[in-house]
Amino acid sequence: MSNKDLYKKALNGDDLSLEEAQHLYTDFSLQILCEIGEKVRYKHIPKKKVSWQIDRNVNYTNVCISGCLFCNFHCRPDEKQKEYTTSLDEYKSKIAELKELGGLQLLLQGGLHPKYDISFFETLFRKLKEIEPSLKLNALGPPEVAHIARLSKLTYEEVLLRLIDAGLDTLPGAGAEILSERVRKIISPAKPTAKQWCDVMRIAHRLNLSTTATMVYGHIETIEERLQHIITIRDLQKERPEGSPGFRAFICWPMQIKGTKLSEIYQKKSEHFNKDRLFKGNEVSEQSAEFLRTIAISRIILNNIDHIQASWLTVGIDAGKLSLYAGADDMGSIMIEENVVSATGSHNSLNAKQMQSTICDAGFEPWLRDQQYSEIKNYSPPQPYIRNL
């Protein structure tokens, strides 16, 4: 297929094969790829508006048996001096602050704790809803669901049904990394497999549970494996029953490996990327260029998912702005609390005022959303504005 025909196919939103996606990713200039991504974005979200969110990321525990080579946050079950489980009093304080700052959602995640089965999470979710009945729980992820199922001797469907009954509102796409068994055997050998991740999501969609999909790239995966990951997400979205929300959004970010075991055994190979000037004359860095290229190809391949999030938390605010011209339409959360990425040394932050200003500076109109991408109207920011965290 000629470049001209491939350009048209990508712009039309047709399904791309792995070979076509790879050609588009590697052979088209960054500027042209972002141009396609931006045009496709407006087919999904026609208005020049960018969404954002207020939520809080709470880690219910740091104990994990997965032992992922890229994670500095977790501790082993035998590291008693390091382990913790968030207490009910701590939840009460965190939820009260969340409400004060204008949010009503907890992104609740942790590790694969060897003793926390379904009963632990049912009790926790119900207590959290007792503390604040309007609280929305965007909790766990496919690896945790698979782990809970194994500990509790239940099916994935039974686990999800019981979690929904206990108060689960939405399921994040956590723990996907790269959906390649080769990659997972190296970087997270004790974690549930790529197939298990997909199986949990497939059942969640059948149960009408709203989810997101993620990808953490830039470590030991090949470009082909990265693109196959995105295609897998697209094809999994096709399987959802009619009327099911399936994946609401796709979020990708470069893996932060500073100081991790993965950084000790792997030195990331540099690749050459076009460094076109795309936004107000600023030259983008090599890492930002790779991020923008990944955002654009994700927007192009994922023709059945409406929203693409700009992961400014890991790549920085300037790159986040640039991604709005490569296919992203959502700036994500101000992240009142975040522990996992910051454990590798990444400390980007925005408060509510800064988030809205950032979107405006990029040339878009900000709108505050909930996890279901419904607009939160009559939002009155607290005075003073949310502090920088």
Confidence at residue 259, expressed as pLDDT on a 0 to 100 scale: 57
Indicate whether 252 pLDDT > 80: yes
Confidence at residue 257, expressed as pLDDT on a 0 to 100 scale: 57
**Strand locations in the chain (E):** 49-53, 56-59, 105-109, 136-139, 168-171, 210-217, 247-254, 277-279, 282-283, 307-309, 330-333, 365-368
Indicate whether 272 pLDDT > 80: no
> How many Å is the maximal CA-CA distance in the chain?
62
Least confident span in 172-186, 214-228, 347-361: 347-361
Q: What does the alpha-carbon distance between residue 347 and residue 55 come to, in Å, rounded to a whole number? A: 17
By the 8 A CB rule, do 257 and 217 touch? no
In DSSP notation, 142-190 reads HHHHHHHHHHHT--HHHHHHHHHHHTEEEE--TT-S---HHHHHHH-TT
**Strand locations in 226-310 (E):** 247-254, 277-279, 282-283, 307-309
Mean pLDDT of 126-141: 96
Dihedral Cα 370, 373, 374, 378, nearest 10 deg: 50
Cβ count within 10 A of residue 157: 16
Confidence at residue 312, expressed as pLDDT on a 0 to 100 scale: 87
Task: Provide CATH code, domain 17-368.
Answer: 3.20.20.70
By the 8 A CB rule, do 30 and 276 touch? yes
Average pLDDT value for the chain: 87
- Confidence tier at 271 by pLDDT (50, 70, 90): very low
Whether the model pTM is above 0.95: no
Confidence at residue 92, expressed as pLDDT on a 0 to 100 scale: 96
Least confident span in 90-94, 102-106, 236-240, 383-387: 383-387
Q: What does the alpha-carbon distance between residue 329 and residue 344 come to, in Å, rounded to a whole number? A: 27
Q: What does the alpha-carbon distance between residue 299 and residue 253 come to, in Å, rounded to a whole number? A: 14
Query: Per-domain residue ranges for the chain?
Result: 17-368
Pick from 337, 354, 365, 317: nearest CA to 103: 337
Pick from 251, 250, 248: nearest CA to 373: 248
By the 8 A CB rule, do 309 and 250 touch? yes
Indicate whether 70 pLDDT > 80: no
In DSSP notation, 18-42 reads HHHHHHHHHHS-HHHHHHHHHHHHH
Pick from 265, 260, 253, 175: nearest CA to 220: 265
- Confidence tier at 246 by pLDDT (50, 70, 90): very high
Q: Residue written as tokens 């500095």?
A: 72
Tell me the HSE value of 299 on the side-chain side, using a 13 A CA sphere: 32
Least confident span in 64-78, 143-157, 339-353: 339-353
The amino acid occupying position 311 is S
- Confidence tier at 380 by pLDDT (50, 70, 90): low
Query: What residues contact residue 134 under an 8 Å CB cut-off, 6+ apart?
Result: 104
Distance of alpha carbon 258 from its chain centroid, rounded? 20
Indicate whether 321 pLDDT > 90: yes
